[in-house]
Structure 1
Amino acid sequence: MKDYQQKFDNFLKDNEAKRCRAMRKVNRERELTNKKQADLLALQEEMKSLVKERDKLMKRVKKNAIYPRFLDKVVQASPQFQEVRQLMSRYYTLKLMSEDLLQITQQNQESMEKSQAQLAHFTKQGNDTILQYNNTLSHLQSQLDEARAEGMIWESRWAHIQNTAAKKTLLLGTIKMATLNLYQSVCKRAKDTGDAPIAPEDTLKQLEKIQTFLSDLISMWEEVSRSRSLLPGASITDRMIWTQLTQKMENVFMIVFEQRWNVFSVARGAGRSGYAHFPLGQSGAGSCFKAPLESPSKAKQ
């Protein structure tokens, strides 16, 4: 009896265990079914989208079906290509080349725009520089015009100076010739003093010699005039004659002195710092002398 009871308990336990396992299996199957149902719904949605995509692609295929036929006709008409693949390869090559050329064109366009900007900047800078140079040129042109005007004034002055110098040179030559003739006359009439003869080109010493001679002559003449005027038998007419002769001698003396002053003045005006160079005689020899700064009026005093 105990054995049957033990077996019956074991049987109940086995049934309970099987029932539990069956319940767990049912739960798993139910969960799996639910999961599969969700997957099925997702797959159905995906299938619907794929069907739509398929329909869309079918329409596109039908729409683009003309292109393969067109490519076949191109291959048949062109001896350069044997297959459509070659034509597509050529197309892709040209497309890549076109993209490269487009990129190069864009780069060149950017470079050209940059160069144009630089050109505009340099052009503006060059125009500013040219304007500045034009202003400087205008200023320099005005200075040049002023310099030319001043140069014309100085040229006219130089021509006047040359004409004046030529006249003074001619006057000096005339004075020298007259002085030489007068000196030769004085030497003929003067007593032999034992002095060395003066060179023909030494006009100053000649004038000094003439001045000394005339001074001595005037002194002698004044003494003679004074002695003649004091004579008891001298008349008023004789005294007037002697006075006039004395005045004429003084006038001659002043003329010689003025000639000497003219020589000094011409020499001082023709040269620099009171010096001048004048040719004398046939040989072209000259004399250089310094004109003294005294006038005939001072010399008369």
Structure 2
Amino acid sequence: MFSEFKDDEMKRKLLHSCCKYRVRNLQKAETERTLVRRKVKELESLGQKLGTLLSRKEQLWAVVNRAAFYHDFLDAVVKKSSKFEDIGGLLGRFDTLTSTRDQLLERAGVVDSETEEERQRLRRYVSERSSALLQQNTSLSQLQTRLDRARSLALKWETTWTRVQSTAAGETLLLGQIQAATLNLYHAAGGVLGGAEGVGLDDTVRQLEKIHLFIKDRTDIVKELQSDAAKSAKN
């Protein structure tokens, strides 16, 4: 009975060992299948990339074939020119000229910007000067109006002054005539010129006063004589 138990134990261990081995084999097989599937996917991806690269290669070859004309053209230019040793030198010169052109364009842009600023300043200056000129023209117009009024007023006063001078000349002549007549009357009334009893030659007022006194005296005398004559006639 003990031997049978021992045999069963060995069988169980053997079976357990076989199961473990089988499980390991299954796991290993699954791992290998997973690895194979991964490799297959990688191969498919690499195949797609290879197809893309081959397509890109064909495109680049097409570009190279199309650009071969330019290469041949540049090579012919280099051979005909003594300034360049190879196409690289020609392209280097082209790059230098392109860089110089870009710098010149940039400088031209700066100059254009500065020119535009100066143009704006000129516009502002012209606008300010135009405004100032307009104000000056307005002031000049106002001054011209005032000048015209002053000229008109001056002409009016000149006419008035001429009339006054004309009137004054007439009055001066009349005054001279009055003075001459007064002097004659003064002499006729026995007036004396100069001295303590006399009056000045040009003192017409005093002469008139003397004449007035002379006439008054003579009038009084005439009245007295008339009164005496009337009294005598009554007697």
CA 1:223–1:63 in 2, change beyond 3 Å: closer, same or farther?
Answer: same
Partner of 2:100: 97
Identity of aligned residues (%): 31
Partner of 1:68: 71
User: Match of 1:64, SS?
Assistant: helix
CA contact (8 A) 2:191 2:210 kept: no
Residue 73 of structure 1 aligns with an amino acid whose one-letter code is: A
1:27 paired to 2:30 = yes
Q: Give deviations 1:39-75, integer Å, cap 9, x for gaps.
A: 2222222222222211111111110112222222223
More helix per residue: 1 or 2?
A: 2
CA-CA distance at 1:224 after TM superposition: 2.2
Partner of 1:204: 205
Partner of 1:167: 170
Alignment of 1:255-266 (within 5 A): none
1:216 paired to 2:217 = yes
Alignment of 1:245-284 (within 5 A): none
Unmatched tracts of structure 2, length 5 or more: none
- Size of the alignment, in residue pairs? 228
Give the Cα–Cα distance (whole angstroms) in 2 for the partners of residues 205 and 180 of structure 1. 10
Give the Cα–Cα distance (whole angstroms) in 2 for the partners of residues 134 and 82 of structure 1. 73
TM-score, normalised to structure 2, is 0.72
Residue 222 of structure 1 aligns with an amino acid whose one-letter code is: K
Q: Give deviations 1:211-248, integer Å, cap 9, x for gaps.
A: 22222222222322333345429xxxxxxxxxxxxxxx
Residue 217 of structure 1 aligns with an amino acid whose one-letter code is: R
CA-CA distance at 1:122 after TM superposition: 5.8
Give the Cα–Cα distance (whole angstroms) in 2 for the partners of residues 225 and 41 of structure 1. 178
CA 1:18–1:161 in 2, change beyond 3 Å: closer, same or farther?
Answer: same
Give the Cα–Cα distance (whole angstroms) in 2 for the partners of residues 36 and 117 of structure 1. 76
Give the Cα–Cα distance (whole angstroms) in 1 for the partners of residues 92 and 230 of structure 2. 153
User: Match of 1:170, SS?
Assistant: helix
**How large is the RMSD of aligned CA atoms in angstroms?**
4.1
Alignment of 1:92-241 (within 5 A): 92-103=95-106, 105=108, 108=112, 112=116, 115=119, 119=123, 126=130, 130=134, 141=144, 144-188=147-191, 197-232=198-233
Residue 153 of structure 1 aligns with an amino acid whose one-letter code is: K
CA 1:213–1:83 in 2, change beyond 3 Å: closer, same or farther?
Answer: farther
TM-score, normalised to structure 1, is 0.58
CA-CA distance at 1:155 after TM superposition: 1.6
Question: Which gives a bigger RCO, structure 1 or 2 (Cα 8 Å, sep 6+)?
Answer: 1
